[in-house]
């Protein structure tokens, strides 16, 4: 590691031992980063130098910031952090708020000032926030005033979180910013200085924080956008994933800045509101989840979406039926991809011109992927095993023994079951933990879900394996029906027969329960583990 700019070395000192790191690859020219690098200089300041200062950078309800205005907002926040709150390079700053231009400016300011940004989902409660503050020893926070109550509860009894400012109505950050000059010189960070800690949702246990460097922020921009999405400075990005989620951080902030494009940040992005915003702002690129794409397909005819050119799905597997319904409704083929918090962003993807039915896509330039068995031996094409990934980004948990489970023999193991065909296309089966073994057959829960979703009566569904004395496990489906359909025994038989005719008959759900809603995370992911507690 190069000489650090960090005065507070807590994060650097709590990186995993080097022997537990994955092997990092910097094989393509665009991934050759200099030793000294501040990501915000490259994403924001450099754009001003290139003459983009008067062009729109971030839009929101009643707000339009040019690149020059965004830089001034970022600089003033950086001055508040360093001059008023005593931030020194390496301090952790908790960021809390729904997607907004102000939240984006705060994130950029933290990195520019040499801090380490820790994004948190708006719906987290004090108990969950306390865990994050404790694990990351967070000293500073910038928070939307509307979310102050939970953060103040979090501060109670905390000896770490000593400096908090709030923005928005009732907050004090903007008043402090107004007293500051518009200039700020970025801290001369090393390329391998920590820039952010991305926490997992923590829904299945103690949350894990993944450390990403300044070069990692730029590396994610040099892979999926450059080689698959291919945005231009004329694009207008929009979407639903929170900036606290690396899918949203890339797709709604870093990628548009990297492309010298414009991004729209809205606090509420339900399917209907997102469609309205695409129409209002004439957005050209949209990022959201498979569930949202499915819901939006049914509403698309009510909106003028002629500006929309590219659509990106990630966060969970994209059902073929959802892809088909969106294309039928809009004429647009979805860019599909898989990534993860630990590896920062998308590493396997396909665009409209490189789509193969049933496959997520091929590994992107800069990454390597293989399918391995439990002993890390490579498996031949067609055989299902664990996905293993190497590239310019990878897992470095903050002081966590689970590092040894995620990284083995230099490879990241995201926990996904895949097979690869002879042409290098990767096919998703399930999370390794969600594979169902019934009478000796391996059944991927998502495949059964996709089959059910193709039935016109099904709005949503979730599939799990439940214990069975004869078969070991059976497939059980939880189904949300569309209005007008009745969840009775006749519907059970109808859906079971439909699945038998769609996929191999042994995969059909032997048990079906009709429910009003499915448990999901704030980012839209289905929480199958919660279904296992339902009778």
pLDDT surpasses 90 at 439: no
C-alpha–C-alpha distance, residues 423 and 113, integer Å:
46
The segment with the largest mean pLDDT, out of 369-378, 424-433, 463-472, is 369-378
Listing from the earlier edge strand, what are the strands of the sheet with 56-60? 63-66, 56-60, 262-264, 236-239, 285-288, 310-313, 334-338, 348-350, 362-363
pLDDT surpasses 60 at 305: yes
Per cent of the chain over pLDDT 90 is: 82
pLDDT category at 455 given cuts 50, 70, 90 is very high
| Residue with the two structure tokens 């020893």 | 137
CATH 3.40.50.12780 fits 1-12+47-221, yes or no: yes
Question: Which two tokens mark 50?
Answer: 């290139």
Question: Which two tokens mark 133?
Answer: 């503050």
Whole-prediction pTM: 0.88
230: Cβ–Cβ under 8 A, 6 or more apart, which residues? 351
C-alpha–C-alpha distance, residues 76 and 245, integer Å:
25
pLDDT at 205: 60
3-state secondary structure of 136: helix
Model confidence pLDDT, tens digit, residues 94-140: 999 999 999 999 999 999 999 999 999 898 888 889 999 999 999 99
Residue 55 carries which DSSP code?
Answer: S
Model confidence pLDDT, tens digit, residues 220-236: 999 999 999 999 999 99
Per cent of the chain over pLDDT 70 is: 99
Model confidence pLDDT, tens digit, residues 14-57: 999 999 999 999 999 999 999 999 999 999 999 999 999 999 99
Mean pLDDT of the chain: 94
The segment with the largest mean pLDDT, out of 157-166, 255-264, 525-534, is 255-264
160: Cβ–Cβ under 8 A, 6 or more apart, which residues? 133, 134, 137, 138, 139
Q: pLDDT: is 470 or 170 the higher one?
A: 170
Model confidence pLDDT, tens digit, residues 344-353: 999 999 999 8
CA 123 to chain centre: 16
Residues of the chain with CATH 3.30.300.30: 439-531
C-alpha–C-alpha distance, residues 67 and 297, integer Å:
33
Average pLDDT over residues 56-80: 97
| Residue with the two structure tokens 């109808």 | 494
3-state secondary structure of 240: coil
C-alpha–C-alpha distance, residues 178 and 302, integer Å:
43
The CATH number that domain 259-433 falls under is 3.40.50.12780
pLDDT category at 326 given cuts 50, 70, 90 is very high
Dihedral in degrees, nearest 10, Cα atoms 396, 152, 122, 247: -20
pLDDT at 102: 98
3-state secondary structure of 93: strand
pLDDT at 201: 58
pLDDT at 187: 98
C-alpha–C-alpha distance, residues 452 and 501, integer Å:
11
Model confidence pLDDT, tens digit, residues 474-523: 999 999 999 999 999 999 999 999 999 988 888 999 999 999 999 987 77
CATH 3.30.300.30 fits 439-531, yes or no: yes
C-alpha–C-alpha distance, residues 527 and 199, integer Å:
17
Residue 333 carries which DSSP code?
Answer: P
Residue 465 carries which DSSP code?
Answer: E
Is residue 377 within 8 Å of residue 394, measured between CB atoms?
Answer: no
Q: Rounded to 5 degrees, what angle do the CA atoms 81, 208, 12 make? A: 55
pLDDT at 203: 40
Instruction: Name 457's bridge partners.
Output: none
Residues of the chain with CATH 3.40.50.12780: 1-12+47-221, 259-433
pLDDT surpasses 60 at 293: yes
- CA-wise closest residue to 77 among 8, 5, 140: 140
Question: Which two tokens mark 244?
Answer: 């606290």
pLDDT category at 202 given cuts 50, 70, 90 is very low
pLDDT surpasses 90 at 532: no
Q: Where are the beta strands (DSSP E) in 168-321?
A: 194-199, 209-213, 236-239, 262-264, 285-288, 310-313
pLDDT at 520: 85
pLDDT at 2: 79
Is residue 100 within 8 Å of residue 149, measured between CB atoms?
Answer: no
């Amino acid at each position: 590691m190069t000489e650090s700019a960090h005065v507070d070395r807590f994060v650097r000192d709590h990186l995993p031992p080097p022997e537990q790191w994955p092997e990092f690859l910097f094989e393509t020219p665009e991934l050759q980063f200099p030793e000294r690098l501040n990501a915000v200089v490259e994403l924001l300041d450099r754009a001003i130098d290139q003459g983009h200062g008067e062009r729109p950078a971030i839009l929101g309800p009643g707000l339009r910031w040019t690149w020059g205005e965004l830089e001034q907002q970022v600089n003033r926040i950086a001055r508040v952090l360093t001059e008023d709150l005593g931030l020194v390079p390496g301090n952790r700053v908790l960021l809390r708020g729904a997607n907004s231009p102000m939240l984006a400016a705060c994130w950029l300011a933290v990195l520019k000032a040499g801090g380490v940004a820790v994004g948190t989902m708006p719906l987290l409660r004090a108990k969950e926030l306390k865990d994050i503050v404790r694990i990351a020893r967070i000293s500073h926070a910038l928070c939307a005033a509307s979310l102050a109550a939970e953060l103040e509860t979090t501060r109670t009894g905390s000896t770490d979180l000593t400096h908090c400012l709030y923005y928005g109505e009732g907050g004090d950050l903007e008043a402090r910013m107004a007293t500051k000059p518009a200039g700020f010189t970025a801290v001369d960070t090393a390329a391998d200085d920590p820039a952010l800690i991305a926490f997992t949702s923590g829904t299945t246990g103690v949350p894990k924080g993944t450390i990403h460097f300044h070069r990692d922020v730029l590396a994610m921009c040099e892979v999926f956008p450059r080689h698959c999405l291919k945005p231009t400075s004329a694009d207008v990005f929009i979407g639903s994933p929170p900036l606290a989620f690396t899918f949203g951080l890339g797709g709604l902030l870093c990628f548009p800045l990297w492309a010298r494009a414009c991004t729209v940040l809205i606090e509420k992005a339900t399917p209907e509101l997102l469609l309205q915003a695409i129409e209002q702002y004439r957005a050209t690129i949209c990022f959201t989840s498979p569930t949202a794409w499915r819901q939006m397909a049914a509403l698309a005819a009510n909106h003028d979406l002629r500006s929309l050119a590219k659509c990106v799905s990630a966060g969970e597997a994209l059902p073929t039926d959802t892809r088909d319904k969106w294309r039928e409704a809009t004429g647009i083929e979805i860019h599909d991809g898989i990534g993860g918090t630990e590896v920062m962003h998308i590493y396997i993807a396909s665009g409209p011109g490189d789509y193969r039915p049933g496959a997520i896509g091929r590994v992107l330039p800069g990454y390597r992927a293989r399918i391995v068995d439990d002993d890390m031996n490579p498996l031949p094409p067609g055989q299902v095993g664990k996905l293993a990934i190497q590239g310019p980004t990878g897992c470095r948990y903050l002081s966590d023994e689970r590092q040894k489970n995620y990284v083995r023999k230099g490879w990241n193991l995201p926990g996904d079951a895949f097979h690869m065909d002879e042409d290098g296309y990767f096919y998703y089966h399930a999370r390794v933990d969600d594979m169902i073994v019934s009478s000796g057959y391996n059944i991927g829960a998502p495949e059964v879900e996709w089959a059910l979703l193709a039935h016109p009566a099904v709005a949503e569904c979730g599939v799990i394996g439940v214990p069975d004395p004869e078969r070991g496990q059976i497939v059980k489906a939880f189904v949300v029906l569309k209005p007008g359909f009745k969840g009775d025994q006749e519907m059970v038989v109808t859906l079971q027969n439909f699945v038998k005719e769609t996929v191999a008959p042994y995969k059909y759900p032997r048990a079906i329960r009709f429910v009003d809603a499915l448990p999901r995370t704030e980012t839209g992911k289905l929480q199958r583990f919660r279904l296992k507690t339902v009778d």
